[in-house]
Structure 1
Amino acid sequence: MRFSVLGSTEVTNNGHHLELGGIRQRAILGYLLLNANKVVATSQILHAMWDGNPPPTARKMVQNAVSGIRRMLTHNTDPTTNPTLRTHPPGYQLRIDTETIDLYRFRRLVREGRNATTNGNPHRAAQLLTEGLTLWRGRALADLVETGTCWSELAAIEDERLSALEDRLDAELACGRHREITPELEILTATEPMRERLCHQFMLALYRSGRQVDALRVYRRTREALVDGLGLEPGRSLQELQQRILEHDAKIQIPALTH
């Protein structure tokens, strides 16, 4: 049995998609998957499902959803895994092999990719981080988000994705693939105009591609977005990169490496 939260909530058994029930049951399953192997208090579930204002029948609704999830878990035919949803005061615990959940595989691959970077192997880092990022099929728990779910955990997971993406782009730059990633960075910086690390990477990729004027234009665009949106000047790292580009600093040029 495999569980997916990096996109719409999905559960598959031997490649077949299982029926997950109504929106409340899907939401409680999604919340338990985000908190895999942790004891989640019923009060915490109530707050997540009804934003702190549950109806009188809320606890019964949670119990019914838990029963539905347990029935769904009985369809597991993988002898190597045995996911179980236990009643564990003060709430419930989803006992599960985290390798069956795409979010936790993503996190493992990101850790391994960052370790490869630390160990001076950007090619391996780029490979691992790419593998992790390809697990994403859309926004985390996209089907729940569409119905108005806005848990703080989901914003944090999205930030994990962006940070991993930035780590991959750093690895690609270290491999000399600045020309290859320039189109991707153009789209990303348009989507996230105030994310300074992406701007830094885009400026560096452009400069290393012989596009100094374009790199400086990106700096001006990002500065305007930060000043207009947050009332802040770019950070020191971005300002220093701009100055180095103006000075044609050889330290920010690297030779193209083999793929």
Structure 2
Amino acid sequence: MSKAKSILCGLVVLGALFAGSVATALECRDVANAGQTFTVCEVDATREDIRLFLTDPESGTPLASFRNVEAALVRDGKRLSFGMNAGMYHTDRSPVGLYVEDGQESARLVTSAGPGNFGLLPNGVFCVRQGRADVIETLRFDREAPECRDATQSGPMLVIDGALHPRFLPDSDSRYIRNGVGTSDDGSRVVFAISQGRVTFHEFGILFRDVLNTPQALYFDGNISRLYAPGIGRHDGGFPMGPIVGVVENAD
């Protein structure tokens, strides 16, 4: 091989490695399991800026949509490269459980059982800190009191320390389009998933435990589940949302 060809091949390899490194910081793909298909977006929390959004900082009104989040970010020279609804909310868009945004707590942690999926204990908290993000079971979160820059509480937990939620039934007939998030033990790997069809809690938990290999995973919501992933041409509309999780990048 000539010297020129050798240099060219080296540049191609380096370019491929660099492109692969960038892709792994935020990558969305379809994953099939047991006859169901899911859209999965994996984020490297050590390299990406993961944030939560609820209200417009200028008007104080609920953002409620990916489009409004994008418009708010543009004012600061930023853009939204990924977004997903991130927890249950009341009719006025206020969070049902703990909500922290940029260090400011606007709703308190709920530790008691209650009606609906949120109260199906154990539930949990998605906690974003510098260089990491974690799903933490609520009572553990209450004991350890980690300092989260951003946090949203939801439920039920899908996977707790590698085990499925004890109330999930393999033969359940409760099926919805569902979305949630799982994290690695070191908090570096964050995996968001939304089903393309109607799935049970058991099927959704199996995805996070056995396919995505996340030892902790949390259910965000069902039926109103939404995804914003411009890299794969997806921008879901529909019902106005409460808390929204997103990955933020510079606009240029």
Bigger proportion of residues as helix? 1
Between Structure 1 and Structure 2, whose CA radius of gyration is higher? 1
TM-score normalised by L of structure 2: 0.23
Bigger proportion of residues as strand? 2
TM-score normalised by L of structure 1: 0.23
Report 1 or 2 for greater relative contact order, CA contacts < 8 Å, sequence distance ≥ 6: 2
